[in-house]
Amino acid sequence: MKHRVDVMIPEDEVQARIAEMGREINERYRDSEELVMVGLLRGSCVFLSDLCRHITSTDVCLDFMTASSYGSSMTSSREVRIIKDLDDEIKGKDVLIVEDIIDTGHTLSKVREIMRLREPKSLAICTLLDKPSRREVDVPVDWVGFAIPDEFVVGVGIDYAQRYRNLRYIAKVVPLE
Ligand code: PRP
Ligand code: MN
Ligand code: MG
């Protein structure tokens, strides 16, 4: 598809919001022994790397999980499969799931359920973007960077056919012709 990308949230706004979320997360986990930040690959990698560098109130561990849903198309499928599991156990730990975007909610709802069964000490969710109008299943989200309308967006880890994850800003994909 021929398209162009238009800036929707500029880099300075993205970074200011991530810093603000970092301050709130520091406050929340001030008395924690350690915080396991779990990134859902691949989309969360850029946001996670920015966010984790603001966390100073507790020790941080990073772990990763891959759940599939979209493939390369612009529509979501309801089936969520775990392709890569966490490397370490989370039982008794403070766990923060970090996601780039919540759309239908199927990915996070499934991942949250899998993690909950492993009995972490606490389980919270943080997402950079949220499209509330697209939600099909309810997921409790503790931190949302930006709630956005139902536009196809890319950047800061979010792809279109695996491209644009490296953009420093959030952009809208605009079809041409
Ligand atoms: C995207 C996005 C979220 C998920 C949101 O991931 O990064 O993980 O879809 O959709 P949902 O709320 O409707 O489940 P994708 O499957 O495209 O993989 P990626 O992270 O590797 O891009
Ligand atoms: Mn993803
Ligand atoms: Mg994707």
For residue 79, what pLDDT is reported? 76
Half-sphere exposure of 34 (CA within 13 A, CB side): 11
Q: What percent of the chain has pLDDT over 70?
A: 94
pLDDT at 71 over 60: no
Residue minimizing CA distance to atom 7 of ligand 1: 43
Residue range 85-121, pLDDT digits in tens = 999 999 999 999 999 999 999 999 999 999 999 999 9
Q: Is the CB of 104 under 6 A from ligand 1?
A: yes
Mutate to test the pocket of ligand 1, among 69, 110, 139 (most ligand atoms within 8 A of CB): 69
What are the φ and ψ backbone dihedral angles of 72, each rounded to 5 degrees?
-100, 5
For residue 81, what pLDDT is reported? 87
ipTM over 0.85: yes
Higher pLDDT, 151 or 78: 151
Mean pLDDT check: name the lowest of 52-61, 75-84, 123-132, 145-154.
75-84
Residue 38: Cβ-neighbour burial (10 angstroms; 0-12, 13-18, 19+):
buried
- Interval 58-76 mean pLDDT: 78
Q: How confident is the model at residue 65 (pLDDT cuts 50, 70, 90)?
A: very high
**Distance between Cα 43 and ligand 1 center (Å):** 7
Q: How confident is the model at residue 59 (pLDDT cuts 50, 70, 90)?
A: very high
Q: Which ligand is nearest to the CA of 81?
A: 1
Q: Is the CB of 102 under 6 A from ligand 1?
A: yes
Q: Is the CB of 43 under 6 A from ligand 1?
A: yes
What are the φ and ψ backbone dihedral angles of 23, each rounded to 5 degrees?
-65, -40
For residue 45, what pLDDT is reported? 98
**Distance between Cα 57 and ligand 2 center (Å):** 27
**Distance between Cα 160 and ligand 3 center (Å):** 7
Q: How confident is the model at residue 75 (pLDDT cuts 50, 70, 90)?
A: low
Q: Residues 142, 125: contact at Cβ < 8 Å?
A: yes
Q: Is the CB of 130 under 6 A from ligand 1?
A: no
* 115 three-state secondary structure: helix
* Cα–Cα distance for residue pair 81/176, rounded to 1 Å: 33
What are the φ and ψ backbone dihedral angles of 74, each rounded to 5 degrees?
-95, 0
Mutual angle of helices 45-52 and 11-28, in 10-degree steps: 60
For residue 77, what pLDDT is reported? 52
Residues around ion ligand 2, judged by CB within 5 A, are 43
* Cα–Cα distance for residue pair 84/1, rounded to 1 Å: 30
* 17 three-state secondary structure: helix
Q: What domains can you pick out in the chain, each with its CATH number?
A: 12-150 (3.40.50.2020)
Ligand 1 atom closest to 104 (CA)? 13
- Interval 122-129 mean pLDDT: 98
Q: Is the CB of 103 under 6 A from ligand 1?
A: yes
